Chain A
Amino acid sequence: AKGTSEPAANSEESEKFVFGMLLVGAYNDQGWNQAHYEAGLYVQDHIPGTEMIYIDKVNTADRPGTTPDQLAEELVAQGAKLIIFDSDDMKDGAHAFAAAHPDIPVIHASGDGAWVDGNAYQNLPNLANVMGRMEYGKEIAGCAAALSSTTGKIGYLGPLINEETRRLTASAYLGAKYCWENVAGKDPADLTFEVTWIGFWSNIPGVTLDPTQVADDFFNRGYDVVISGIDTTEALTEAQKYADEGNTVFAIPYDFKGGCGQTSGVCLGVPYYNWGPSYTSYVQSAIDGNFTPSWDYLAPNWEDLNNPDTSALGFVKGDALPEENGAKLDDFIAELAGGLNLWKGPLNLQDGTVFLAEGETATDYQVWYLPQLLEGMLGLSTAAE
């Protein structure tokens, strides 16, 4: 197939705009990386004459001896004129590459190097950051969990502890707490929200906890919803196993629109990223020659949460969410759209210190760099002291 398409491609060679993408995991992982990969395909479809090239598994375990900036250069050598780094892990590589190649626009997804007020501001003219405000997605997920839980025990399968994972976990808690009290009208004292961190983004036998075991343990201890904070699907597959054996348990995966996969009756829905529209606008601006660095912390399109062309993130309801709860969830989403802010005082940190005073709302800075979990959540806020 490649041989036949080549001559045709040659004619438009001059106009073709190639952009490169570095994926931290496999491009077809049905998670974080596939969301990015498909966003790349979306760009190809929406801007004629663009082509994506990629390298996946950009991590030192899979690609010994390489650095992200080095791999980005490989993409440049293959003609890439814009590079997307898709992971926080590539932070240093993305910054180094951007500094070394001022002519090439660089997008570092999930990073904060282009945030003027952020802790890691780099002041590079060609570095942009983009991140969806997944706090909303997690709040919706938390709400869906609270609405579906009968035991009031919600588990959160956390990866490793850092600022990003803390704020997302806390958001899920805030959503769950809000819906438990205000939508389901239950006693807040009956809600348990616990996070167990496996210690890494994926399972390394003999070194990290086993996410399968963590999910099992939640279900065994009467937790009937597990929200996944990791990119792999252990929570969902375990829920499916428990459900197949006659238990009523649910899971909420993460990252990818198709995250519920082929499961039946366990998936409450999935909060997902939709990187396509923002990537399209970055690529377009690069083609037009007016790429400007920015730190984009994108809210969803509240008019149409799941619109693939306008919303930076969304929430797809799963088949395990009954219509009645679905409607309640829609109401909650509408409230969020109407300006409901769950990151509003009074809110205490896990150790009891005040995070937000009565009536105070959190700034982006406060949310992004959340120092601890919130009061009321079970689980570690930081790795061992």
Chain B
Amino acid sequence: MAVKEKKIGFAKRLPSSAVFSIASTVGALLFTSFILWMAGAQPGLTFEKILAGAFGDSVKIANGLVVWVPLSLTAGALIITFTAGLWNLGIEGQIMLGAIAATGTLRVLQNSLLSPVLIILFACLMGMVGGALWAALTGILRLFGGVSEIFAGVGLNFVATALSLWLIFDPWKRPGVGSMSGTEPFDERLWLATIPGYRLSLWSLVLVVVVFIGLFILLKKTRFGIQIKAIGKNLEAARLMGIQTRKQMMAAMLLCGGLAGLAGALQVVAVYHRLIPSISSGYGFLAMLVAMLANNNLMLALLVAYLFAILNIGGIQLPIVLHLDSTLSGVLQTALVLFFLIMNGVKQHLTERKERNRHAE
């Protein structure tokens, strides 16, 4: 799927990449069908209902896009760090901090005389700053403290969760009550305008397009992009080539955190209009799967994010019409990635064997 065709002669006789992609998709579908069969459900019907639930009408399609926006933003963000060879598992916390910073900004400015547009813009900006600062913490721990970004990130996710719960139940609680439903919703004028009749905001769609064009330019057309690619592939060599590896890795973390924070801020201004306990919605981890399945390819990430969004939205139908649990969507999503990794391994294995045979001739 994403794998670039190598220009090496011996690869030619191997089945093309498409074959492996199809094989991994079929594998994931078969696996999920098996799980469905174990749960006593009809696989065909189930998949049909998921699709109907995602494309049944324009509202559903729009709802899919509502999920797609933060998911693709976060996946795009992760592709930056993945390219730089950083497993930014702290992404969930970065989304949360973005949401927290945006909420804080809105709380401060909601009664001011600024125009709502400015307030929203400022909230998004502060969201980016919040996410970036949280990412910076991971970056500093990794680059100056020698703490793997994996563990620093996971730890900081917990801290971020606790922080948001504390804010919701304590300093930012609704008048008189701390509620799981989150902080007091903001005034409607501070909501990001949506298309009438839909939950979808055109602005967030535009934002995704702009961000991805920006990411494409950043990663493919700028020195920074090619430098972090080099860092991701060979840190030491990149350093010896005179690339300022620390600075660029930190920049990658900050950019990623900033975009994740933006996704979190959008959840506040465009979807929930307040801070809720699990504001990150697990998008960070889901986006990680998206980026893996897309093999860090931006265009593919947009598609895969859409596929995953569809599965999330379509999965809602399962309890309604089939009395099944919606986590099936998650099973299918993760199975897709697992089988992709497996087929990737098989492909590499076959490639190597071909190569060996070639030399033996």
Contacts and interface: CB of A to CB of B under 8 A. Distances in A.
Q: Do chains A and B touch in the complex (CB under 8 A)?
A: yes
Interface of A: 27, 53-57, 59-67, 70-71, 73-75, 77-78, 87-92, 119, 160-164, 199-201, 204, 206-208, 369, 371, 383-384
Contact of A119 (B169, B175, B283): B175
Given A60-B279, A64-B283, A92-B274, A163 B165 contact: no
A200 B180 contact: yes
A384 B162 CA distance: 14
Using C-beta atoms within 8 Å of the partner chain, give the interface range for chain B: 35 or more
Nearest to A201: B180
Contacts of A27: 319
A334 to B, nearest CB: 34
Contacts of A201: 180
B329 to A, nearest CB: 10
Contacts of A77: 56-57, 59-60
B63 A70 contact: yes
Contacts of A55: 316, 319-320
B319 A207 contact: no
Contacts of B169: 160-161, 199, 383
B161 interface: yes
A106 to B, nearest CB: 16
B63 A60 contact: no
Nearest to B165: A207
Contact of B316 (A63, A204, A371): A63
B281 interface: yes
A107 to B, nearest CB: 17
23 contacts: A55-B320, A63-B326, A65-B67, A65-B309, A66-B63, A74-B53, A77-B56, A77-B57, A77-B60, A88-B180, A91-B181, A92-B181, A160-B169, A160-B178, A162-B179, A163-B177, A199-B169, A200-B180, A207-B161, A207-B162, A208-B165, A371-B176, A383-B166
Given A60-B278, A60-B279, A65-B283, A89 B320 contact: no
A66 B282 contact: no
B66 interface: yes
Nearest to B309: A65
B354 interface: no
Interface string B62-97: 010011001100000000000000000000000000
A75 B321 CA distance: 10
Interface string B248-281: 0000000000000000000000011110111101
A201 B283 CA distance: 23
A278 B280 CA distance: 37
Contact of B319 (A56, A59, A70, A384): A56
B199 interface: yes
A71 B170 contact: no
B98 to A, nearest CB: 15
B37 interface: no
B158 interface: yes
Contacts of B170: 383-384
Contacts of B104: none
A89 B316 contact: no
B145 to A, nearest CB: 21
Please indicate which of the listed interface residues B56, B169, B309 has the most CB atoms of chain A within 10 Å of its own CB: B169
B316 A74 contact: yes
Contacts of A164: 177
A280 to B, nearest CB: 22
Given A55-B319, A56-B319, A77-B57, A119 B326 contact: no
B173 interface: yes
A64 B320 contact: no
Contact of B70 (A65, A208, A384): A65
B180 A89 contact: yes
Contacts of A88: 179-181
B317 interface: yes
B343 interface: no
Contacts of B181: 88-92
B204 interface: no
A66 B282 CA distance: 12
Given A70-B199, A71-B316, A161-B178, A61 B283 contact: no
Query: In this complex, which of B166, B277, B325 has the most chain A Cβ atoms within 10 angstroms of its Cβ?
Result: B277
A59 B179 CA distance: 13
A371 to B, nearest CB: 7
Contacts of A204: 161
Contacts of A208: 165
A383 B274 CA distance: 20
Given A64-B286, A65-B66, A207-B162, A54 B312 contact: no
B196 to A, nearest CB: 11
A57 B326 contact: yes
B179 A91 contact: yes
Nearest to A68: B181
A364 to B, nearest CB: 16
